[in-house]
Amino acid sequence: MRHSPTQLFKHNLSLTTFQHSLLPTPAPKPLLSNNNRRASEQKCLSLLQTCDSLPKLSQIHAYLLKSGLHTNSFVLTKLSSTSSSLRSIDYAFSITFSNNPLLPPSYDAFLFNTFIRGYAHSHNSQSKAISSFSLMLENNIPPNKFTFPFVLKACAGLRDLNLGKQIHGFVSKFGFESDPYVQNTLIHMYASCGDGLEIARKVFDEMPKTEPVCWSAMIGGYVRGGRCNEAVVLFRMMLGAGVRPDEITVVSVLSACADLGALELGKWIGVYVEREGIAKTEPLCNALIDMYAKCGSIEDGANLFRVMPEKSIVSWTTMIDGLAMHGHGGEAIALFEEMKDAGVVPDDVAFVGVLSACSHAGMVEEGCRYFNLMKSEFSIVPKIEHYGCMVDLFGRAGLVERALEFIRDMPVEPNPVIWRTLVCACRVHGEIELGESISKQLIGDEPMHESNYVLLSNVYASMQRWEKKSKIRNLMGERGIRKVPGCSLIELDSQIYEFVAGDKSHPQYKEIFDMVEEMGWELRSAGYVPTTSEVLLDIDEEDKEDTLYRHSEKLAIAFALLNTKPGTPIRIVKNLRGH
Amino acid, single-letter form, for residue 27: A
- Residue 4 is predicted with a pLDDT of 38
C-alpha 360/C-alpha 327 separation (Å) is: 6
The pLDDT value recorded for residue 357 is: 94
| Helices and strands, number each (H, E), in the chain | 30, 3
- The answer, yes or no, to whether residue 227 has pLDDT greater than 50, is yes
Q: Residue 18's pLDDT is what? A: 39
Residue 493 scores a pLDDT above 50: yes
HEC-encoded secondary structure of 418-465: HHHHHHHHHHHCCCHHHHHHHHHHHHHHCCCCHHHHHHHHHHHHHCCC
pLDDT of residue 317: 96
- Residue 474: its pLDDT value, please? 87
Distance separating alpha carbons of residues 350 and 130, to the nearest angstrom? 36
Q: Which pLDDT tens digit goes with each residue over 311-364? A: 999 999 999 999 999 989 999 999 999 999 999 999 999 999 999 999 999 999
Please say if the pLDDT value at position 157 is more than 70: yes
Those residues whose C-beta lies under 8 Å from the C-beta of residue 403, and which sit 6 or more positions away, are: 390, 391, 394, 395, 422, 425
Highest mean pLDDT pick, 74-78, 171-175, 193-197: 171-175
Percent of the chain with pLDDT over 70: 84
State pLDDT tens for residues 382-416.
Answer: 999 999 999 999 999 999 999 999 999 999 999 99
Question: What pLDDT is attached to residue 194?
Answer: 76
Q: What is the mean pLDDT of residues 267-279?
A: 92
Residues in CB range of 363: below 8 A, 6 or more apart: 329, 330, 333, 357
| Mean pLDDT calculated for residue range 139-154 | 92
Rounded Cα distance, 562 and 557, in Å: 9
**pLDDT at position 66:** 72
Sign, Cα dihedral of 252, 256, 257, 262 = negative
Question: Are 306 and 294 in contact, with CB atoms under 8 Å apart?
Answer: no
In this prediction, residue 290 has a pLDDT band, given cuts at 50, 70 and 90, of: very high
pLDDT of residue 43: 75
Mean pLDDT within 69-75: 70
Phi, psi of 131 (to 5 degrees): -60, -40
3-state secondary structure of 576: coil
Sheet containing strand 572-574, edge to edge, reads 495-500, 487-492, 572-574
What percent of the chain has pLDDT above 90? 47
Return the SS3 of 141. Answer: coil
Q: So what's the pLDDT on residue 494?
A: 73
Q: Is the pLDDT of residue 76 over 90?
A: no
Taking Cα atoms as reference points, which of 373, 381, 369 lies closest to residue 410?
381
Q: pLDDT for 231-253, tens place per residue?
A: 999 999 999 999 999 999 999 99
Confidence of residue 98 (pLDDT cuts 50, 70, 90): low
The full DSSP string for 200-263 is HHHHHHHS---SHHHHHHHHHHHHHTT-HHHHHHHHHHHHHTTPPP-HHHHHHHHHHHHHHT-H
What single DSSP character describes residue 30?
P
| pTM exceeds 0.85 | no
Q: What are the tens digits of pLDDT across the range 200-221?
A: 999 999 998 888 999 999 999 9
On average, the pLDDT of the chain sits at 83
| pLDDT for the residue 103 | 60
pLDDT, residue 11, reads 37
Res 22: pLDDT: 42
For residues 351 and 370, the answer to whether their CB atoms sit within 8 Å is yes
Q: Do residues 88 and 54 touch, judged by C-beta distance below 8 A?
A: yes
